[in-house]
Structure 1
Amino acid sequence: MRNVPLADVDSLDRDVLAIGTDYPPDHLLEFHEHRRAQFLHGATGLMEVETADGTWTVPADRAVLIPPRTRHQVLMRGVSTRSLYLEPAAVPWFPARCRVVAVSPLLRELLRAAVDAEPEYPRHGRDAAVMELIRHELQALAPLPFDLPLPRNPRLRALCLEFQRRPDVHAPLSGWAARLHLSERTLNRLFRAETGLTYQRWRQRACALHAIRLLAAGATVTAVAAALGYDTPAAFTVMFRRETGSAPSGFLTRGAAPG
């Protein structure tokens, strides 16, 4: 199925529904939720997913697992998606929290076949076999550290979202503490309690994920390093590898210069 609203087919008696959708640039799917579990794969572009407890950056050829009944919004940046909607009982192993995953070459080809299937595909034909194999492949996907936990505390959350828009690797904890009228020690305790990370670690993760967005938009490694406040591209690359497990050049837009 392509460019079909989920509401039109959600009630079908099929464990797996596959829908391919093309979105205009910078299209925002405002907060909503699904009855089914969702596997959201961007064949192109980049997606930014937000829920009550965090954000997930999803570059091209990766995917995000979204549990059923999870309120979320998605910013689509030049994205063509291949989504799977799965009956919860058919995927009891599905995570309770969103998760970005790598997409294997086999799964990529299976998704291409799946979105061409009829909505009510025969239960014992080729399309049903493709959907069953997809379910097995989903269980084997490797998670990626492309999530950024967000606090529930409204004032701290507002500062975190503001920082995500304009991150600076040198932004001191003291500046945040002053704005929140807290001591640095109290703020660090609050940060760890609300996100599971220290302020310094959260700041570094936020910078790495913002870098992925900039690289996907066509920025060079040198330009990204400067935008985040790093003195040299080498220092930025060390941080990026530590946070993501990959070199920044791997996220460059095809055809973009690495320097």
Structure 2
Amino acid sequence: MPLDALFPEFDSDLYPQTVVSLKLTGGDRECETPFHQHRKGQLVLAIHGHVTCNIGDGIWMVPTHCAVWIPSLVPHSNRISPDAQVCMLFIDPQIANLPQKSCTLSISPLVRELILHLTSLPQDYKPESPTAKLVDVLMHELVKMPTEQFDFPIPKETRLNQLAQALIDQPDNRDTLGQWAAKFAMSERTLARLVKQEVGVTFGRWRGQLHIVIALQKLSSGYSVQRVSEDLGYESVSAFITFFKKTLGRPPKQYISQY
């Protein structure tokens, strides 16, 4: 189902207010917008379920109680899981101290509640109104939120683009860098150097970022740790938990339950 069907008349750029918001509830099927852009930057906050954002050359995961920031005029699409609850915050690019590049933000309980409250109010508020004061507090807090690495970069380079799509299609594929290099008729060293040059991290780290994206997506949707471990091709649940804890600092259940 096209996501536009859920809010066909909403255009954030038609509002003179510097910040406007919108709350969406997913249906019984996954919803997605076509690629688009707008003058206002966009913050996508998942209250329940998850959102996957395709932004430029990467896939960005919005796990529950985190948010993705998309700057002004950056082309993107948003895919919302069934039964998700999502808040969209549209922010004028003139507001200072917001990230200049797309990123994932950890959202504090205070900021989350401020956004939720704003979505319940009329969006055509006056400059000196109580809603405008609420927006001032929200922006003051939002710029303090720390960033996270919940994205999976997709390079334009033909061979790495094919490799990225293959990893997305089969996240349980455990082929080594050498095995992938053989498929592209190149040496392991050459492929390793190409990945580092195009993505900025090692092959293992790159694939690990995809696993974190998928793991958070599935855990936010209620999948068990064992099921996620199997879907990602880990030899054991303990191996997956070790990887998850090393990457995000907490085991999966504790990480998800903190919200």
Of 83, 86, 100, which residue of structure 1 is paired with 2:88? 83
CA distance in 1, matches of 2:240, 2:190: 29
- Say yes or no: does 1:70 pair with 2:74: yes
Q: Describe the superposition over 1:70-90 as per-residue Cα deviations: whole angstroms up to 9, x where unpaired.
A: 111121113222111111011
Residues 212-247 of structure 1 show CA distances to partners (whole Å, capped at 9, x for unaligned) of 222223322122223322222121111111222332
Other-structure match for 1:257: none
1:70 maps to a residue whose letter is V
CA distance in 1, matches of 2:53, 2:111: 21
Indicate conservation of the 8 Å contact 2:13/2:38, yes or no: no
Query: Secondary structure in 1 aligned to 2:48?
Result: coil
Partner residue in 1 for 2:41: 37
Asked whether the equivalents of residues 4 and 19 of structure 1 are also in contact (C-alpha less than 8 Å), the reply is no
Work out which of the residue numbers 130, 144, 147 in structure 1 matches 2:148.
144
Q: What is aligned with 2:3?
A: none
Instruction: Give the SS at the match of 2:133.
Output: helix
Q: TM-score under structure 1 normalisation?
A: 0.89
State the distance in 2 between where 1:26 and 1:189 align.
Answer: 37
Q: Deviations over 1:140-180 (max 9, x none)?
A: 11212212222121331132022123213632112321232
Q: Distance in 2 between matches of 1:187 and 1:58?
A: 30
* Residues 76 and 37 of structure 1, relative CA distance in 2, 3 Å threshold: same
How large is the RMSD of aligned CA atoms in angstroms?
2.1
- Structure 1 residue 69: Cα displacement: 1.0
- Structure 2 counterpart SS, 1:70: coil
Contact kept? 1:218, 1:252, Cα under 8 Å: no
- Summarize the Cα distance change of 1:117–1:60 in structure 2 as closer, same or farther, 3 Å threshold: same
User: Which whole-Å CA distance do the structure 1 matches of 2:230 and 2:85 have between them?
Assistant: 30
Q: What is the identity, as a one-letter code, of the residue corresponding to 2:23?
A: G
Which is further off, 16-25 or 122-131? 16-25
Conservation of the 8 A alpha-carbon contact between 1:169 and 1:203: no
Quote the residue 2:247 is aligned against.
243
Aligned with 2:22 (options 19, 23, 31): 19
Please show how residues 169-208 of structure 1 align to structure 2 within 5 Å.
Answer: 170-208=174-212
Aligned match of 1:53:
57
- Of 201, 217, 221, 1:217 maps to 221
What is the match of residue 98 of structure 1? 102
| Alpha-carbon separation, structure 1, partners of 2:175 and 2:156 | 21
Q: C-alpha displacement at 1:182, in angstroms?
A: 1.8
Which range moved further: 28-37 or 222-231? 222-231
Aligned pair in 2 of structure 1 residues 210, 132: CA closer, same or farther (>3 Å)?
same
What SS does the corresponding residue of 1:31 show, helix, strand or coil? coil
The SS at the match of 2:34 is strand
User: How does the TM-score come out when normalised to structure 2?
Assistant: 0.89
Contact 2:44-2:62 at 8 Å conserved across structures: no
Q: Which residue of 2 aligns with 1:120?
A: 124
Structure 1 segments unaligned to the other structure (5+ residues): 255-259
- How many correspondences in the alignment? 251
d(CA) in 2 for partners of 1:131 and 1:115? 11
Structure 1 moving runs of 4+ over 3 Å: 2-6, 250-254
The match for 2:138 is 134
Percent identity (aligned):
28
SS at match of 2:88: strand
Q: Distance in 2 between matches of 1:45 and 1:83?
A: 14
Amino acid of the structure 1 residue aligned with 2:85: S
Tell me if the contact between 1:36 and 1:88 (Cα under 8 Å) persists in the aligned partners: yes
